[in-house]
A and B are shown apart, each in its own frame.
Chain A
C-alpha cells in the first residue's frame, strides 16, 4: 500500500463484512508517533482466528486462500519500529460486547514510514461503500488538528430518506473534512 489511509480503508472493510453497526476510526498524533485505531461492534473472531489473523495464509474470503490486509497493515507499522495489536471478542462468546479492535503505532520520522496520504478520500470512499446500516465515527487529533465526523449526526439531519452515499452528500462530507483539516 502506498498510503496508510488505504490500509485504514482496507481494515475498515473487514468491520463492514463483520456486520458491524458502528465503526470507530481514531487517529492520534503526538510528537513523532501516529496511532491508528479501528474498532467495531461486528461479529468478532474466535480465539483461533485471532491467533492466525496476522498470517497471510489466513483469510475470510472464499475466492482464494491468502489474505494480505492485516499482514500489510502490521508490516507498515513494524517497519517503522511501531507496534501492532488486534483484540477481538466473538459474538458467540460475548453476545453483549462483541467486536474487534485493530490498532497500530507508527514512528513518523522513520525512513520506512508510509505517509498517511489522502485520508479524506479514504473516509469518503468508506462511507460510500459501507451501506446505510452502518455508522462511522472518525477522529483525528494532534497538536494542530481536532477533526471529528459522526455519521449518526449527519443521518439525523438528512432524515431517513436520503442515503449518505448520495453524490451531493458525499461532496458535502469531503468539503466538511477539508475545512476541518484547514485545507481549502
Chain B
C-alpha cells in the first residue's frame, strides 16, 4: 500500500533540489489544455512530456506547463517550446509519439523539428 511515509521519503530525497518557482527553468514546454486542446488529445501529449523530461533527468532545467487556448483550436494539440537562446517554436497536431521525438531532438539535441511546426 502506498503510504505517506513513502511520500515523506520523496520529500527528504528532493529537499534542496527543487525550485518552488515554476517556469524558472531555462526551457519551458507549454501545452494548450483548454477545451479544444483536451478534446483533441492534449492530455496524453502533456503526460508524455512530463514523463520523458523526468526520465531524461531534465526536471531542473526544463519545466512542463499547461496553458489555456491560444486561438488556433484547429491545430490542437498545440505545444510551444521556449528556450532562452532561441525563438519560440510552436508544434501543432501533436501526439505522444511526436512528443518523445521533440524531447529527444529539440530539447536535448537543440534542433527544432520543422516538420511538426505550423506550415
Please report the total number of A residues contacting B with Cβ < 8 Å: 42
On whether the beta carbons of A172 and B6 are closer than 8 Å, the reply is: yes
Contacts of B50 in A (CB 8 A): 128, 167, 170
Is the CB of A58 closer than 8 A to any CB of chain B? no
Please encode chain A, from 156 to 169, with 1 for each CB lying within 8 Å of some chain B CB and 0 for all others.
01111111011111
Is the CB of B38 closer than 8 A to any CB of chain A? yes
Contacts of B51 in A (CB 8 A): 167
Given known contacts A1-B38, A128-B66, A162 and B46 CB-to-CB distance under 8 angstroms: no
On whether the beta carbons of A132 and B20 are closer than 8 Å, the reply is: yes
Please report the total number of B residues contacting A with Cβ < 8 Å: 38
Interface of chain A, helix or strand or loop or mixed?
Answer: helix
Please encode chain B, from 36 to 47, with 1 for each CB lying within 8 Å of some chain A CB and 0 for all others.
101100011011
On whether the beta carbons of B59 and A161 are closer than 8 Å, the reply is: no
On whether the beta carbons of B2 and A179 are closer than 8 Å, the reply is: yes
Is the CB of A147 closer than 8 A to any CB of chain B? no
On whether the beta carbons of A10 and B35 are closer than 8 Å, the reply is: yes
Is the CB of A33 closer than 8 A to any CB of chain B? no
Contact of A163 among B18, B68, B71 (CB under 8 A): B18
Contacting chain B: which of A59-67, A99-107, A136-144?
A: A59-67
Contacts of A125 in B (CB 8 A): 33, 43, 46-47, 66
On whether the beta carbons of A157 and B18 are closer than 8 Å, the reply is: no
B61 → A minimal CB distance (Å): 13
B43: nearest chain-A partner, CB-CB: A125
Residue of B1, B7, B54 contacting most chain A CB atoms (<10 Å): B7
Contacts of A6 in B (CB 8 A): 38-39, 43
CB proximity to B under 8 Å, residues A56-93: 61, 63-64, 67-69, 72
B27 → A minimal CB distance (Å): 15
A163: nearest chain-B partner, CB-CB: B20
Is the CB of B8 closer than 8 A to any CB of chain A? yes
B35: nearest chain-A partner, CB-CB: A69
B56 → A minimal CB distance (Å): 11
* A170-B15 Cα distance, complex, nearest whole Å: 16
Contact of A167 among B35, B59, B66, B73 (CB under 8 A): B59
- A interface vs B, CB < 8 Å? 1, 6, 9-10, 13, 17, 61, 63-64, 67-69, 72, 118, 121-122, 124-125, 128-129, 131-132, 153-154, 157-163, 165-172, 175-176, 179
Can you give 8 contacting A-B residue pairs, CB < 8 Å? A1-B39, A121-B44, A129-B65, A157-B8, A161-B20, A167-B51, A167-B59, A169-B7
